[in-house]
A = this chain, B = another copy of it.
Amino acid sequence: MSVRYLTARLAQQIDEELMSSAAYAFSLDQLMELAGLACAQTLAKVYDVRTHPRVLVCCGPGNQGGDGLVAARHLGMFGYQPRVFIPKLGSKDIYQRLKTQCDMMQIPSIPPSSFSSSSASNSETTDALEEALLTSDVILDAIFGFSFKPPVRAPFGDVLKLVRDSRLPVVSVDVPSGWDVEAGPPQSEDQKDGVVRLEPDVLLSLTAPKMGVKSFKGRHFLGGRFVPRTLEEKYRLNLPAYPGFEQIVELPRLSEKDPGDQKL
């Protein structure tokens, strides 16, 4: 039995069940901490700190941006030199706390003035990103996750284009940014509308992979070792066994004919 690929709706439902006080009662702080740790470990597993010390963590405005902030902190603990590119800090209190933790760990933010969403123009933001890319070794793409719905809003269309054009290795979290959660990569680019086809080298799926990444050809890891067996069985997720006490597991590269495709 191969792993189940989730629809956007089922991914959302599992997330809600994990955090519902009437069910598993996880806090966002707990899940984000474990997710961000898995992101950092995946990047560290593929890109050695000696060859790729300068990590640019690109954070979106939602929960995946939070995962990115947690990952940046852990990467700092692992000896990397992370920087966070965070053009719009989400409004939830937790993002502010995660950002403070990064600041206190002296992890630089790009652009420095972008702390509040209103303080940097889109062109200042993309200029700062362009410059930062010149002195980075690898990118952690934590821009959009399984809640992403087109269109890509400014400045993220330009951000995706700069990331792609940098030709730096990219580790994407959950769903490569700009890909449709179910339909996968955009078939054709339309840069005016921010439609850019990002092709990450590495992907970390959280909880279970989403339908849109079935065609992903790079190294594919799974993280989020917090899905209780009862939940796994309820939704027939067929998760692979994680090795030992590790928090990530590498998935075999799947052929396009894989039969594990099921909709809820």
A230 touches which of B105, B226, B230 (Cβ 8 Å): B105
Q: Are A225 and B44 in contact (CB under 8 A)?
A: no
Chain B contacts for A73, CB-based, 8 A: 226
Chain B contacts for A27, CB-based, 8 A: 29, 97
Q: Are B78 and A44 in contact (CB under 8 A)?
A: no
Chain B contacts for A25, CB-based, 8 A: 97, 100-101, 104
Whether A245 contacts B45 in the complex (CB less than 8 A), given A77-B226, A104-B24, comes out as yes
User: Which chain A residues in 214-256 approach chain B with CB under 8 Å?
Assistant: 225-226, 228-230, 242, 244-245, 247
Give me the interface of A with B, judged by CB distance under 8 Å.
Answer: 21, 23-27, 29-30, 33-34, 37, 40-41, 44-45, 73-74, 76-78, 97, 100-101, 104-106, 225-226, 228-230, 242, 244-245, 247
Knowing that A33-B33, A104-B230 touch, tell me 8 more A-B residue pairs with CB under 8 angstroms.
Answer: A26-B97, A30-B30, A30-B33, A45-B245, A74-B225, A105-B229, A106-B229, A106-B230
What copy number does this chain have within its complex? 2
Closest CB in chain B relative to A42 CB, distance in Å: 9
Whether A245 contacts B97 in the complex (CB less than 8 A), given A33-B30, A104-B24, A228-B105, comes out as no
A247→B106 CA distance, assembly (Å): 21
Closest CB in chain B relative to A246 CB, distance in Å: 9
Closest CB in chain B relative to A124 CB, distance in Å: 27
A77→B27 CA distance, assembly (Å): 18
Interface core residue of A24, A30, A37, A247 (most chain B CB under 10 Å): A30
Chain B contacts for A225, CB-based, 8 A: 74, 77
